[in-house]
Structure 1
């Protein structure tokens, strides 16, 4: 049995194994088991690790991941549904247009109703040029890989926000004399 474990320890780790260890380290940081410095140091080592033994050493002193309490399972973890980056990018690009154009059309319709006559359709001056600009942006963005860059930037901001929150927690836990 020990020989089997030694064999596994020497095996090369995959990217998925490194990501799993990174997730476990992030959970330990959130639980307060690691401070930000330890987390950063171990995270760098995790992504540089080549073997299972190197990865196991990074989490050896951490307890096994506990399942979330029943109350936490009832709460939604993420409010954003899992959609491909392209769909999220398109929604971000087009959503203001899809919200504003119906409003200006409704204003035109109400004005026409009160005037008891069909007034000049001025919402076309809002919807037309804006829609043309968005169409060009959509075509050039999809052709140039903009959704991937947008998603990467979004993830970078999310990670920066989490790190900032973790630093704040670490400072609060350390007290004012640190």
Structure 2
């Protein structure tokens, strides 16, 4: 019976798993992978893995992507810092436009917006317990 591309990809994934577990070397993996993509039938695919134990790919744990930044900072805290930064930037732009349009140095009032909010976020980031599990 003829094998499909999905069948070949499934056997290639099994070979990658065996390579990761140390059952076959990288050179052997490359040779077998070449045979996998040359295979036209299920029988040819079965011969590539005949000497290897069966691997149930459904039983493998799913790989989770690594966090983008700050392993200890959960996504909600990163969002709070992003909101703080955006609001602070908008306030500073408004302050700069007003200062330039009047020609006078205006009191830097954005400090009163970003200061307390930033202090609360900093304390929460440093001493917070992380995301709450339900």
TM-score normalized with structure 1 length? 0.39
Counterpart mapping for 1:160-171 below 5 A:
none
Structure 2 vs 1, CA of residues 42 and 67 (structure 1 numbering), >3 Å: closer, same or farther? Answer: closer
Give the count of matched residue pairs: 84
For 1:79, the equivalent position in structure 2 comes to 65
Indicate which of 91, 96, 101 corresponds to 1:109.
91
For 1:120, the equivalent position in structure 2 comes to 97
Distance 2:57 2:40 in 1: 28
Structure 2 vs 1, CA of residues 103 and 38 (structure 1 numbering), >3 Å: closer, same or farther? Answer: same
What secondary structure sits across from 1:120 in the alignment?
helix
- The CA deviation string for residues 27-57 of structure 1, in whole angstroms up to 9 with x for no partner, is 0000100000000010011011101111000
- Residue 108 of structure 1 contacts residue 119 of structure 1 at CA under 8 Å; is this kept in 2? no
Structure 2 vs 1, CA of residues 20 and 104 (structure 1 numbering), >3 Å: closer, same or farther? Answer: closer
Structure 2 vs 1, CA of residues 104 and 29 (structure 1 numbering), >3 Å: closer, same or farther? Answer: same
For 1:131, the equivalent position in structure 2 comes to none
Offset at residue 110 of structure 1 (A): 5.1
Q: Which has the higher helix share?
A: 1
Q: Which runs of 5+ in 1 are unaligned?
A: 1-10, 81-98, 113-117, 122-178
For 2:12, the equivalent position in structure 1 comes to 22
Distance 1:49 1:109 in 2: 64
Indicate which of 30, 35, 43 corresponds to 1:53.
43
Indicate which of 29, 39, 59 corresponds to 2:29.
39
Structure 2 vs 1, CA of residues 111 and 56 (structure 1 numbering), >3 Å: closer, same or farther? Answer: closer
**Which has more radius of gyration?**
2
TM-score normalized with structure 2 length? 0.50
- The CA deviation string for residues 67-103 of structure 1, in whole angstroms up to 9 with x for no partner, is 788xx75xx62227xxxxxxxxxxxxxxxxxx6xx73
RMSD: 3.4
1:13 equivalent to 2:13? Answer: no
For 1:94, the equivalent position in structure 2 comes to none
